[in-house]
Structure 1
Amino acid sequence: MIHNYIIPSLTAFLLIAGASATSNAIANDNGVQAADFVKIFEKLGGEHPGYRKAHAKGLCVSGTFLPAPNKHFQGSALLSNGELPVSMRFSVGGSSPTSDEKAPGTRGMGMQIQLPNGSLHTFTGNNFPVFAGKDPETFYGFLSTLLPDENGKSDSAKTIAFIQQHPSVQANVMWNQTAKTPVSFANTEFFGIHTFYFEQSNGQKTKFRWNIKPSLGVKTMEKAEAANKPTEFLADTFAQQLKNETVGFTIMASLGEVEDSDIDPSQQWPSERPQVALGTVTVKTSGGDACKNTNFDPNIMSAGFMPSADPVLKIRSQAYAISFGKRLSGQ
């Protein structure tokens, strides 16, 4: 039960990070490496040559970004060049290209905005607000408890024990236990979960985390309603919504305080933190393969923006690059 429920959600962040190595059978002196995550997801979800190692099933869309300049991001090229083109990819959690769209759990989003000078700004997130582990070692340790033995069976007692011993995994596990099936990608909120900084033109730094709110509102389905859906419905639902109404998203930035962690994606910031809009995305088209070979590395940002020292965020670039290379070479 735990294996079936958690894995699609965590595979969502396949290339992101790992779990706490308080488990002696998992840790090593050199720490967890990016390649370790690629390997463990292939063990857990099977090998699917030519596909992303996480979020293998996806939908490409394109549109425009209209910025909302504000005092917290003064001098940002991202917010001062008017309307910009956007490429996006929505996805279902899991390493299989045939992941069940009716299943509850993780949905992902990658977005690249292209600036006039050719530079890119990337937003990559999921519909869960907290990560399953404070660092790569914790996440890897957690995933390792899900690996089947020589008889093809996983030990749920081992997984439960790990969760109990590692508090930073617990919030994500609780989210998985209550997650429902999204009605559409267009009705899903996405969270960046990591902390970023922006250095303003006056030298001050803005500490923030972002989330993306759908203009059509967040909508989910109960299990019985989802069971009546066809095996694949997300692409058709999105296309129909585009025909009938405006599909859009607002990118929001939560402004952090000194005491808010900038290195632990398993910790949510207090809900009372002020928010400002960075801009709105309006989707124009869906379908096709325009985003197939795009690497939505969240560390690719426009001038003035910079990543925090979050170790999970750091390892993502390496893991994304490995997965990208394997995908392009048909592995």
Structure 2
Amino acid sequence: MKVRKVVLALGLSLCSVLWAQSGTDSESIAELFYTLNGDAKDPHKKINHTKGFCAIGELVPVKGITKTYDIPLLKESAIPTQVRFSLGGGNPNASDGTKGRGFALKIGGKSDSWEIVALNAEISFAKDLEEFVKFFEIRIPKDGKVDSQNLAKVTKETPSFANYEKYLATLPLTPSVANTKYHSVHTFYFKDTKGRDIPARFAFVPVMGEKGLTPDEAKKLGNDFLEADFKNKVASKPIEYKMMLILANPKDKTDDTTALWSGKHKEVQIATLRVTKYDGDGCNRDVFMPAVLPKGVGAPKDPLFETRNEVYGITFGRRQ
């Protein structure tokens, strides 16, 4: 716990510097989310990934992985892990038949900890703070209605937005969290035993395999099938994911979260996540901070990583 608080404090301090340098106020970014997803009757409402449920599991490192990567946390045999599955957006009653899915972990080892926030999309919609703000501003209703013509125009004119929209069209709508692949989006730096920082993105690959639904199949499942499906599956056996590092190639963009990496990449499994038990909704008001990293894992160098941490910290404070 002490390590987590220190890392969080350092992360937020660095965020403040970045915000000051960019001329963007972190409180104004938080207000943007509250304008879109807030509720005047519930000022403590979670304003993104509002709908979700919790689970308990363990991260089981691959035997001998610390002979390759100098990450002491991975020397432990089975690390208790809290898991949260969620939907993107601020609607607590959103339909599960949407593509935007979230996945968050608190990995609490004996000597270190790691918090992860991942998505079912490989890339983000914005490469910098300016685009990040613009993406949400064009979605703010005016007179109770979103200006769809302006939304379409700005999306078409902004390459990051247009590429993200095109990418989403290829993303499968999955019937279960057990069939969903989750991605880090950001590039992290994994220290190897030779002292080198290896840039890599990571993914949690479902052992049951990825699976997509047609729109008609999704309609037949209703609005709340994910939680029920999870309870049913985990009651009979654990749901497992392979935690894979996707190592960057020399020409890959490691500081741009909108960039899809093309071609073949070396992949290394570093652990298996075993999700063993449904755990209600108690973690829904908690915060998962991507800045909480274990020794041997370095933070991303893109413009948005610290932004996420700063805004998470502010909105978590407002939920108290």
**Could you tell me whether the CA contact under 8 Å between 1:198 and 1:304 is conserved in 2?**
yes
Residue aligning to 2:118: 125
Give the Å deviation of 1:323. 1.0
Residue aligning to 1:13: none
Aligned match of 1:177 in 169, 173, 185?
Answer: 169
Aligned match of 1:229 in 218, 221, 228?
Answer: 221
Please state if 1:140 is matched with 2:133.
Answer: yes
For residues 125-166 of structure 1, the C-alpha deviation after alignment (integer angstroms, 9 at most, x for no partner) is 1111110011121021122112222x2222222222222222
Aligned match of 2:191 in 194, 199, 216?
Answer: 199
**Could you tell me whether the CA contact under 8 Å between 1:253 and 1:276 is conserved in 2?**
yes
- Note the 1:62-141 alignment, pairs <5 A: 62-68=56-62, 69-70=64-65, 73-102=68-97, 104-117=98-111, 119-141=112-134
Give the Å deviation of 1:232. 1.7
The one-letter code matched in structure 2 to 1:51 is K
Residue aligning to 1:161: 153
Q: 1:31 to 1:163 in 2, by over 3 A?
A: farther
Q: 1:73 to 1:53 in 2, by over 3 A?
A: farther
Give the Å deviation of 1:291. 2.3
Gapped runs of 5+ residues in structure 1? 1-27
Q: Kindly tell me the number of residue pairs found equivalent between the two proteins.
A: 298
Please state if 1:241 is matched with 2:236.
Answer: no
Residue aligning to 1:288: 280
Residue aligning to 2:25: 33
Q: TM-score, normalised by structure 1?
A: 0.84
Q: TM-score, normalised by structure 2?
A: 0.86
Q: SS at 2:115's partner residue?
A: strand
Q: SS at 2:56's partner residue?
A: strand
> Partners in 1 of 2:225 and 2:69 — Cα distance?
42
> Partners in 1 of 2:188 and 2:168 — Cα distance?
25
**Could you tell me whether the CA contact under 8 Å between 2:94 and 2:223 is conserved in 1?**
no
Gapped runs of 5+ residues in structure 2? 1-19
> Partners in 1 of 2:301 and 2:281 — Cα distance?
34
Aligned match of 1:60 in 41, 44, 54?
Answer: 54
Q: SS at 2:29's partner residue?
A: helix
**Could you tell me whether the CA contact under 8 Å between 1:31 and 1:137 is conserved in 2?**
no
Give the Å deviation of 1:76. 1.0
Question: Which protein is richer in helix relative to its size?
Answer: 2
Give the Å deviation of 1:30. 4.9
Q: 1:219 to 1:263 in 2, by over 3 A?
A: same
Residue aligning to 1:12: none
**Could you tell me whether the CA contact under 8 Å between 1:109 and 1:190 is conserved in 2?**
yes
The one-letter code matched in structure 1 to 2:316 is F
> Partners in 1 of 2:278 and 2:299 — Cα distance?
30
Please state if 1:186 is matched with 2:203.
Answer: no
> Partners in 2 of 1:259 and 1:308 — Cα distance?
17
For residues 85-106 of structure 1, the C-alpha deviation after alignment (integer angstroms, 9 at most, x for no partner) is 111100011112112223x220
- Note the 1:265-304 alignment, pairs <5 A: 265-304=257-296
> Partners in 2 of 1:324 and 1:309 — Cα distance?
24
> Partners in 1 of 2:154 and 2:206 — Cα distance?
35
Give the Å deviation of 1:308. 2.1
**Could you tell me whether the CA contact under 8 Å between 1:131 and 1:193 is conserved in 2?**
yes
> Partners in 1 of 2:284 and 2:249 — Cα distance?
38
**Could you tell me whether the CA contact under 8 Å between 2:203 and 2:244 is conserved in 1?**
yes
> Partners in 2 of 1:193 and 1:268 — Cα distance?
9
**Could you tell me whether the CA contact under 8 Å between 2:46 and 2:315 is conserved in 1?**
yes
| Percentage of matched positions with identical amino acids | 26
Give the Å deviation of 1:31. 3.6
Give the Å deviation of 1:173. 1.0
Give the Å deviation of 1:259. 2.3
Q: SS at 2:178's partner residue?
A: helix
